[in-house]
Amino acid sequence: MSVIASRSIVKIPILMYHNIAQVPDSVRVYRSLYVSPASFARQMAMLKGLGYRGLSMADAMPYLRGEREGRVVVITLDDGYVDNLESAVSILQRYAFTATCYVVSGALGQYNAWDADRLGVRKPIMSGQQLRAWHAAGMDVGAHTRTHVRLSQCNDRQQRDEIQGCKAELEQQLDAPVTQFCYPYGDYDERAVAIARQSGFDAATTTDRGRASSGSDIDLWRLPRIQVARHHLLPQVAARVLTRYEDRRA
């Protein structure tokens, strides 16, 4: 009984990043979406020093299901930016970490059309070739819809096309299964959750705050994450990983 109880309260932090790059001077809003390569490297070194293994969502599934135990932290990056490949991969490999990049399949080789006007900058998205290089480096690719829509505002047909279509397009690019999904903007409803499950995804992440609980009875298609922002110092990142700081804000 004590073993079952201890497994039921294990918390697994799922970190959420976007750009691993210096913030351009022209950007005046959402500067928090940028984490510099130097800061990212210090954060990964800290996690390693604390005894954590950095895992992609695919690699973390046995821990999230409660099938394995260990000191793990999940690393996710949203949208599929080129700087993830150029700056994050070498840092992750330095510590034998893996990560999941959630990719907008309809934007491959293009830019962040969903928020470029608001940000005032066009951020390059990985091409198919670059996405395959990310995958070949041992990293995981997840789906983030075809066009980065707010799923709750879509009708049933649009939701299915955005979720299932993204999976199909990414699998065609990679010639490999895509088992992870992330709701753009953290926007989802019961229909989107159901479609994500029916589409064959093993799990789906949100922007809901908190550390994920592990175990056979958790909802793997509504997993919370911890945003790591540009202004977060190392002690703040550590507090979000190690303590109930984010859990209390869920």
- Given a cut of 90, whether residue 28 has pLDDT beyond it is no
**Cβ of 207: how many Cβ atoms within 10 Å?**
17
What is residue 217's predicted lDDT score, i.e. its pLDDT? 86
pLDDT for 198-249, tens place per residue?
Answer: 999 999 999 999 999 998 889 999 999 999 999 999 999 999 999 999 999 8
Give 232-239 contacts, CB < 8 A, sequence gap 24+.
Answer: 234/42, 234/43, 234/46, 237/43, 237/46, 238/46, 238/50
- pTM for this model (two decimals): 0.95
**Contact status, residue 7 vs residue 70, Cβ threshold 8 Å:** no
Structural domains in the chain? 2-249 (3.20.20.370)
